[in-house]
Amino acid sequence: MSTVRSGLRWRPQLPAATVLAASAAVLLLVNPAAAIVPQAAAPVAAPADLGRLADERADVVEVILADSAELDALVATGVDLDHHITHTGDGIVVHAVVTGNEVATLTRAGFTFGKVLHTAEDAAQRVAEREATIAAHLAENQEYAAAADFSARSTVSDVRIIRADYYTSGDTQVLSVEAKWAQGQTDASPLTVERDSGPGTEIGSGGSQTISRFVDAGAYLYHRGAAQVTSRPAYVRITSPSGDVAVAKVNEWLPIPPKDPEGPGYMKDFVASYLTPTELYDRIKALAAQYPKISEIVELPYRTNGYRRKAQAVLGTATDSRVAVDSLAWGHQGGNDVTVELADPGVADAPLAVTVTGTQVRVDLATDGSGTVTSTAEQVVAALNARAGTLLTAYTYRGSPGTGVVGPAARTALSDGLAAPAAVSRDPHPVYAIRIGKHRDGSRLGVLAYAQEHAREWVPPLVTIETAERLLRNYAHDRKTRELVDNLDIWIAPSINPDGGHYSFYDFNSQRKNMTNHCPQDGSADFLGRNSWGVDNNRNYTEYSLFDGYSGASTSCTSGTYAGPSELSEPENRNVDWLAARPNVTFSMNLHSSGNYFMWSPGSYATPGRISAPRPTLAEESLFWGASSRILTAIKRHRNLAVTPARTGPIADVLYSAAGNSGDMLWYKYGIYAWNFEVGTSFQPAWQEAHAETMEFSNGLVEMLRVARDFDTDRKRPTSSLSVRVSATPGMVDVTFSTSEPAAVFYTLDRSRPTYDSTLYGSAGIREGGETLTIPVGTTVHWFSVDAAGNVEKNYKPDGRGNNHNKQKVKAPKG
């Protein structure tokens, strides 16, 4: 459905003097334009299945397009696009995730393909790299544990200090220590660091601090921790639980450039490899256990459908003689034990017969008088369903009448096709968020960050983990971090789509959607369709969706942008809806990859005509842009890579229509300032790049928290002015308003007091500033401005009686 957004729901508990300002914020954000809801057109007809088969690999390939009309046409095919779009001198280049069959189908439809950018081999290399990193850490731990055994003869200490750094931050002194313990892989004990109180003093005289394990992807890396100290220590000592000792000199940390908002001693860099959804959840659980006073784990209300499938097989090769079979039990619950054999009985005039022995199903095909097999697919299907219906269900291939004669097939084991180790749960999966804040009772302004709606996007979850760690691990010694954690209610959900996430790690690296099979038996429900199933979790939401007639989502169950059978049909989406419904959540970030974009609503339009969902008001858009420059500057600080202006703005302007996306639901349904990151350069970049992207976008996410905090504490009143220019029309002038900060302007031209019912100064058009008003010379303009936090210029009371608003009689400018 499409709803009119109701404005901000966050109501800070304000002192009485500011209550009016708060109510102004409510009025300010009710957008008159939002009442104009485009008429819902019929959804674009489902394109034919593009023909992806499960035994095909999918690559990221360029598609070369002439213009945005051709882009809309491509989107309408339901092809699986990543989030790249480049406007070149003579057209548009986008990236599609396609198999050979899909390339053939789209080429026949007139589309032109360019370079192949990312292949399944690249992904396999990333996984191998990750496995090798984890294995190397484990081997190193084993080697160290062996060398530093507990016997007295060992000369190797079982603990060694990697680094000890001292810094000052304002008046605060901090000591950060990293150490490796030989038993760290298997023993979760923290280590105690003793300090001296300066050169020549006794170790211990400066006090002590504990450091805790840093475990990544199940591999212990080292112990780390920082604490405030009262003097600069010269040496530190760690005595391990077995009594071994390590001593190290304390170093002075290099000063960080002053423009860096994080003080010296600010800890970052907490990810060492890609993490599967299971590992992401383990990580936030470990963090919440370590910081119980300022964080907790919340299990979201809806479990996924699970990393599980029915065991299946497709017997035969020609469409009309193929027999598809699915187990009734899930693969891991016995379905994988079922086997089917199509046997030639080798005698004349044999009847069609099915024998079930345990989980083995044998079909003896019928023969004619000369001993030739005569059973058709349709007949075999009927016989299997009649005689083996407690084990399996059989059907003809993709709606074929099944009139072809079936050939014999050797005993074939049905398979769910799932390759993840048994440690990956096959049950409906709980989805977890970590909630960070000193006050987690809804009384503080809420901020939500969520990642991995799209399974194959492996970097965005790391950005959320890195951010959570920065908040928790810097809390004790970094004043600015403490201000955020003490005053905000921060929800971080690292993986919205864990089933698809596991599938992308273990089975099909290009998986975008969830794992749920909504395809009918006469469609692509068979084993060969399994890499095309699933709902695009970023198209299944409630606002300006496919079901409302908007573009950029598909009704085809095999499409990369399949919107699902209905709005919020998927548990993953109901979880995001639940998170967004927290009444205090006011800002959000939906993290995707890739393309280095930074975007907000509207995210969809209806074609033809590109009728977009309502645009934010000028004040709202000003806040989006203003905050964007802060967030993007923070991202750039990491390695001087910039998100370009061309990639910043409303989704529908800078990317393409994405009907039913989550950002639109959060903005239009819940009034949340909802942003979208498209992190980095590809789904699964080489680790060095993935790491850099994680660091830079975590900078951006932390900056968004600062934006939220500043929004909450904004008591500064905006100021505004009117500029007057010569008009092309005689006797008229062109006037525009400008404001000192993101703010809305209400004005009158009839000398009446301006109120919230007066005309709201509007934006001129896409990505432009305020509109130009052309009015007669001598008109007196009355106006006031109000910022996004509800502060009114000059403390004017629009609903009161005072006259301390702005007034100006416009004269003809000179020249």
Return the active site residues: 678
DSSP tag of 756: T
Least spacing, CB of residue 540 vs Zn ion, in Å: 13
Count of Cβ atoms closer than 10 Å to residue 405 Cβ: 18
Provide the H-helix boundaries in 339-428: 377-387
HEC profile of 2-46: CCCCCCCCCCCCCCHHHHHHHHHHHHHCCCHHHHCCCCCCCCCCC
Contact window for Zn ion (CB under 5 A) among 86-94, 451-459, 521-529, 667-675: 451-459
Least spacing, CB of residue 9 vs Zn ion, in Å: 26
Spatial CB neighbours of 463, under 8 Å, sequence gap ≥ 6: 451, 591, 677, 679, 693, 694, 697, 698, 701
Least spacing, CB of residue 683 vs Zn ion, in Å: 9
Tell me the sheet residues that pair with 343. Answer: 364
Least spacing, CB of residue 680 vs Zn ion, in Å: 12
**Residue closer to Zn ion, measured from CB, 95 or 322:** 95
Q: Which residues in 579-618 contact Zn ion (CB under 5 A)?
A: 592
**Residue closer to Zn ion, measured from CB, 478 or 678:** 678
Q: How many residues bind Zn ion (CB under 5 A)?
A: 2
Q: Maximum distance among all alpha carbons in the chain?
A: 108
**Residue closer to Zn ion, measured from CB, 182 or 651:** 651
What is the DSSP code string of 509-568? TT--S-S-----TTTT-SGGGTTT-S--TTS-SSSS-GGGT-SS-BS-TTSTTB--SSTT
- Closest among 453, 424, 460 to 685, alpha carbons compared: 460
Residue pair 669/444 in contact (Cβ under 8 Å)? The answer is no
Least spacing, CB of residue 484 vs Zn ion, in Å: 27
Q: Which residues in 711-730 contact Zn ion (CB under 5 A)?
A: none
**Residue closer to Zn ion, measured from CB, 98 or 193:** 98
Contact window for Zn ion (CB under 5 A) among 100-108, 290-298, 454-462, 552-560: 454-462
Spatial CB neighbours of 798, under 8 Å, sequence gap ≥ 6: 24, 746, 753, 754, 755, 756, 784, 786, 792, 805
**Residue closer to Zn ion, measured from CB, 592 or 709:** 592
**Residue closer to Zn ion, measured from CB, 250 or 449:** 449
Least spacing, CB of residue 453 vs Zn ion, in Å: 6
Q: Does 539 bind Zn ion (CB under 5 A)?
A: no
Q: Does 454 bind Zn ion (CB under 5 A)?
A: yes
- Closest among 95, 180, 35, 27 to 682, alpha carbons compared: 95
Least spacing, CB of residue 280 vs Zn ion, in Å: 16
Q: Does 456 bind Zn ion (CB under 5 A)?
A: no
Least spacing, CB of residue 506 vs Zn ion, in Å: 20
Instruction: Quote helix, strand, coil % in the chain, to nearest 5.
Output: 25, 30, 45
Q: Which helix (H) or strand (E) holds 321?
A: none
**Residue closer to Zn ion, measured from CB, 398 or 454:** 454
Q: How far apart are CA 196 and CA 671, in angstroms?
A: 54
Least spacing, CB of residue 554 vs Zn ion, in Å: 15
Least spacing, CB of residue 789 vs Zn ion, in Å: 31
Least spacing, CB of residue 128 vs Zn ion, in Å: 24
**Residue closer to Zn ion, measured from CB, 444 or 592:** 592
The token pair at 421 is 């180790």
Least spacing, CB of residue 52 vs Zn ion, in Å: 18
The token pair at 413 is 């084991």
The token pair at 553 is 């989502």
Q: How far apart are CA 317 and CA 305, in angstroms?
A: 31
Q: How far apart are CA 658 and CA 650, in angstroms?
A: 11
**Tokens 């934010």, residue?**
616
Give the number of residues written for the chain: 815
| Phi (first) and psi of residue 756, to 5 degrees | -70, -10
- In one letter, which amino acid is 754? P
CA contacts within 13 A on the Cβ side of 237: 14
Least spacing, CB of residue 592 vs Zn ion, in Å: 3
**Residue closer to Zn ion, measured from CB, 570 or 787:** 570
What is the DSSP code string of 673-695? EEEEEE-SSSSS--HHHHHHHHH
**Residue closer to Zn ion, measured from CB, 126 or 444:** 126
Q: Cα Rg for the chain, rounded, in angstroms? A: 31
Residue pair 435/491 in contact (Cβ under 8 Å)? The answer is yes
| Phi (first) and psi of residue 486, to 5 degrees | -75, -25
Contact window for Zn ion (CB under 5 A) among 249-257, 449-457, 543-551, 741-749: 449-457
Count of Cβ atoms closer than 10 Å to residue 724 Cβ: 17
| Phi (first) and psi of residue 59, to 5 degrees | -120, 160
Q: How far apart are CA 40 and CA 21, in angstroms?
A: 37
CA contacts within 13 A on the Cβ side of 736: 13
**Tokens 């496995």, residue?**
131
- The alpha carbon torsion through 315, 318, 321, 327 (nearest 10 deg) reads 30
Where along the sequence are the contacts to Zn ion (CB under 5 A)?
A: 454, 592
